[in-house]
């Protein structure tokens, strides 16, 4: 018996790899995505360590099963994040395409990522981790420091991840084509490919996306070159040589756009199996035949909405007396205890089991900010939605849901337009196309050929054994802008055309002169 157990241990350990996951505590969604990856790898038998710069100590690690190496927050980085996290800002009062916000964010993120990177390098933990000789290093692309560290750690393979989509400069770093004509930027909530103005706005939105992280990117690269020498590779050099890129996306609810073989979508990886509702929520969901769920996530607080907007939303609720509305509202303030309490079909709550409620058959429409987690949950549960994107990747998430006829998009500056919201609700609840499309997509996600978990584990194993493959690295990474766009060929062709046209004109003139002179002589 002991022999069999020993053989089993040897067999399991033979396939186990040493893996380091860089998981900066920046936001819940980022930590949860990386933490879930780490825990799944532990369950698969790997030896996994999580490197966690704790810039936001309020949120959880994301991982509960790995060994953890912590880096204390830099005071300046912590102060920036605290200001973002606790500031009482009405997120619906300004456009996502307002250039002022990216300019402000550019300076704030430069301090946040730059100072925390200093703290990580000064912690002494990197020197210890260098000795571990990891097979695979998995790092979130959102934090530039983590990517730059990979050159110091020198694992067999680096896997870059994105807890949302590939956006901004990541396209250039990885060599993934980004056609502005039909691939919406992360800040684009609507793209009409046949409209010149719409495509122009998409260019502008992509510029804003790149702008808000440009200084942070530059500061982190400068930091590494100052500390480790001017020949330290750039962020683009390091990123271009990764083995794979994991994205938290699902092609079945996205836009069809160009990609690379090494970009692996693992959307819905952390989706939890819905639980049975307790007695209270069951009673709420069964009071009326239809339920509308309204939540704008953790960053945009409903209680901070303008009074006129709150009153407009009450008009929406009152217009559907046979529908129960559940609204995530964070405070028992004057509005909650006053006007809202008078509406019989409205339930205010500071917390809700969102995933479980979406699974209930009476849930008719989900009004959401369009965060990646919420978008994937509504797709998995087969529910149509009204999406009111606020910032980040939410505009593009909303655009892809509308593009696939799974819901409708409302600009956040229109949230006070109760007539428009009423019209959208009537369309989603009255037109069976949306419900049918949503149910069909849910079935497709359930039966897709390879699950996200399978793709994650298989590709990590492959990268650990073989490292990066040069065959998966596009040659475009070594080309100049002129070469990539064939501008040299076009220039030569243009010059050739001009010379040919000039010579043709000269020949034509010569022939005409000969003909004309010949006629004159004959006369």
| Three-state DSSP string of 460-487 | HHHHHHHCCCHHHCCHHHHCCHHHHCCH
pTM: 0.89
CA–CA separation, 69 and 19 (whole Å):
13
Q: What is the mean pLDDT of the chain?
A: 91
Confidence class of residue 77 from pLDDT cuts 50, 70 and 90? confident
Question: pLDDT value at position 9?
Answer: 41
Cα-based angle 55, 57, 58 (whole degrees, multiple of 5): 130
Let me know: does 139 contact 160? Beta carbons within 8 Å: yes
Q: What is the pLDDT of residues 4-42, one digit of tens each?
A: 444 444 344 447 999 999 999 988 888 999 999 999 999
Q: What is the pLDDT of residues 429-480, one digit of tens each?
A: 999 999 999 999 999 999 999 999 999 999 999 999 999 999 999 999 999 9
Q: Is the pLDDT of residue 512 over 90?
A: no
Residue by residue, DSSP assigns 280-334 as: HHHHHHTSSSEEEEEE-TTTS-GGGS-HHHHHHHHHHHHT-TTEEEEEE-----H
CA–CA separation, 338 and 335 (whole Å):
5
* Chain position carrying tokens 């069809």: 256
Q: How far is C-alpha 22 from the chain's CA centre?
A: 18
The residue-averaged pLDDT of 401-411 equals: 96
Question: pLDDT value at position 88?
Answer: 62
Which of 74-78, 458-462, 497-501 comes out lowest in average pLDDT? Answer: 74-78
CA–CA separation, 184 and 179 (whole Å):
9
Question: pLDDT value at position 84?
Answer: 66
Q: Is the pLDDT of residue 61 over 70?
A: yes
């Amino acid at each position: 018996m002991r022999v069999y157990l020993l053989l089993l241990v040897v067999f399991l350990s033979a396939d186990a790899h040493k893996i380091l996951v860089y998981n900066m505590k920046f936001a819940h969604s980022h930590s949860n995505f990386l933490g879930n990856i780490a825990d799944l790898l532990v369950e698969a038998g790997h030896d996994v360590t999580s490197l966690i710069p704790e810039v936001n100590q309020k949120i959880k690690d994301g991982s509960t099963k790995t060994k953890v190496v912590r880096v204390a927050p830099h005071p300046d980085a912590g102060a920036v994040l605290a200001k973002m996290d606790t500031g009482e800002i009405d997120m619906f009062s300004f456009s996502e395409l307002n250039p002022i916000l990216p300019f402000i964010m550019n300076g704030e993120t430069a301090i946040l990522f730059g100072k925390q990177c200093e703290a990580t390098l000064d912690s002494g933990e990197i020197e210890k981790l260098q000795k571990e000789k990891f097979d695979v290093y998995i790092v979130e692309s959102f934090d530039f420091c983590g990517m730059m560290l990979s050159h110091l750690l020198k694992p067999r393979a680096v896997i870059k991840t994105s807890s949302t989509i590939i956006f901004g400069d990541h396209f250039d770093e990885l060599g993934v084509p980004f056609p502005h004509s039909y691939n919406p930027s992360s800040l684009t909530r609507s793209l009409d490919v046949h409209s010149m103005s719409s495509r122009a706005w998409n260019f502008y939105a992509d510029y804003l996306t790149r702008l808000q992280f440009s200084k942070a990117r530059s500061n982190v690269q400068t930091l590494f070159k100052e500390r480790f020498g001017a020949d330290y590779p750039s962020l683009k050099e390091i990123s271009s040589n990764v083995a794979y890129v994991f994205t938290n996306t699902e092609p079945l609810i996205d836009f069809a756009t160009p990609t690379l073989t090494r970009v692996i979508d693992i959307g819905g990886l952390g989706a939890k199996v819905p639980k049975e509702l307790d007695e209270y929520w069951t009673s709420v969901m069964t009071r009326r035949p239809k339920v509308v769920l309204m939540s704008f996530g953790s960053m945009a607080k409903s209680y901070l909405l303008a009074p006129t907007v709150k009153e407009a939303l009450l008009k929406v609720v009152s217009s559907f007396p046979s529908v129960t509305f559940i609204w995530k509202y964070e405070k028992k303030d004057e509005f909650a205890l006053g006007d809202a309490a008078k509406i019989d079909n409205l339930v205010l709550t500071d917390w809700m089991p969102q995933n479980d409620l979406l699974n209930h058959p009476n849930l008719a429409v989900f009004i959401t900010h369009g965060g990646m987690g919420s978008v994937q949950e509504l797709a998995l549960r087969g529910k149509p939605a009204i999406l009111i994107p606020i910032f980040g990747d939410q505009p593009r998430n909303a655009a892809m849901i509308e593009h696939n006829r799974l819901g409708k998009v409302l600009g956040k500056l229109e949230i006070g337009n109760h007539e428009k919201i009423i019209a959208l609700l009537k369309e989603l609840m009255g037109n069976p196309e949306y419900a049918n499309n949503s149910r069909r997509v849910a079935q497709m996600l359930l039966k897709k050929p390879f699950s996200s978990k399978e793709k994650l584990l298989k590709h990590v194993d492959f990268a650990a054994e073989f490292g990066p493959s040069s065959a998966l690295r596009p040659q475009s990474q070594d080309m100049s802008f002129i070469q990539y766009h064939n501008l040299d060929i076009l220039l030569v062709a243009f010059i050739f055309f001009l010379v040919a046209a000039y010579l043709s004109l000269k020949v034509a003139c010569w022939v005409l002169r000969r003909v004309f002179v010949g006629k004159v002589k004959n006369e």
